[in-house]
Amino acid sequence: MTSQPGSQRTWIITGASAGFGRAIAECAVGRGDNVVLAVRRPGSVADLADAHRDQVLVAELDVRDTGRAGDVVRSAADRFDRVDVLVNNAGRGVVGAAEEVGEEELRASLELHLLGPAALVRAVLPYFREQGSGTIVQMSSQGGRISFPGVGAYSAGKFALEGWSEALAGEVAPFGVRVMIVEPSRFRTSFNAPDVLGFADAGAAYTGLLGAVRNDMASADGIQEGDPVRAAEIIVDLVAGDELPLRLPLGREAVERIGRSYRQNLEELERWAPTARAADFPGAPASARPI
């Protein structure tokens, strides 16, 4: 079963107070859909809720509080009778070398980018399976396919989300449930804002290596080339259509950087393939896999 153009949908969107989440919510509401805004600070979306009382429900949620996931999904179903789209959007960047980012901050990143979204997916899937339809949009990043010095803690959560979601897509497809992983490059959201983007305390050993990375991340706020409104329209259009990609690099830089990474990885694989194949038992038959 695929989404029918023109039908009213009910969305649950995390991190809907700003950036992609807010833009997707506004686009969906503008097209007549219902939206549950799952946010840490309900007051941050009061204007949208007041302007669209019949279409908008605000649910207080810190995504890392996985025990609240079921409550949010139930509130959406109780208010609007069904749930059609889950957008796991909440996220936060952190910059620092592996030696600089402590266990507490690394764990918080994994909770925000993997464990929280996973809990919401588990909570919504029974509704989707019963309906025979539903769409899960996982807001990842180009940093969920490629990484570089200084962003390992952030990429760890996004890489994990992508691997988990790729398996999920195959598991739920027989029930009419679709999964799309969105991999944006730099968009003009609050991601790079001084009070949002996190920086680990810089160690002297990494000053030279990561100084340029820190400066680049800190200076990007307000000049990012990506338009969140255009991105939201693309996402909402795809959700409304019959064809949905598993992965959607979003923005020119994401297309170019991820594409270059794919080509480099393939070249390295081919270069080392003879060495890798030599690890098998001589003459052993190839594996037979169910998938």
Q: Which listed residue (3, 140, 165, 185) is catalytic?
A: 140
- In the residue annotation, 158 being an active-site residue is answered as yes
Cα–Cα dist 146/184, whole Å: 12
| Helical spans, DSSP H, in 57-115 | 69-80, 103-110
Q: Give the position of tokens 């506004």.
A: 26
Number of other CB atoms surrounding residue 70 within 10 Å: 15
- Torsion angle of the four alpha carbons 151, 248, 33, 65, in this order, in degrees rounded to the nearest 10: -30
- In the residue annotation, 109 being an active-site residue is answered as no
Q: Which listed residue (3, 109, 155, 158) is catalytic?
A: 158
CB 34, CB 55: distance < 8 Å = yes
Cα–Cα dist 181/20, whole Å: 14
Neighbouring residues of 146: CB distance < 8 A, sequence distance ≥ 6: 155, 257, 258, 261
Residue 251 backbone zone (phi > 0: left; psi -120 to 50: alpha; other: beta): left
- In the residue annotation, 127 being an active-site residue is answered as no
The DSSP result for 165-227, as a single string, is HHHHHHHHGGGTEEEEEEEE--BSSSTT-TTTSEEPPPPGGGHHHHHHHHHHHHT-TTT-SB-
Q: Which listed residue (3, 127, 133, 154) is catalytic?
A: 154
In this structure, which amino acid lies at residue 197? L
CB 165, CB 179: distance < 8 Å = yes
- In the residue annotation, 185 being an active-site residue is answered as no
Cα–Cα dist 42/58, whole Å: 6
The candidate with the shortest Cα–Cα distance to 8, out of 28, 33, 25, is: 33
Q: Catalytic amino acids?
A: 17, 140, 154, 158
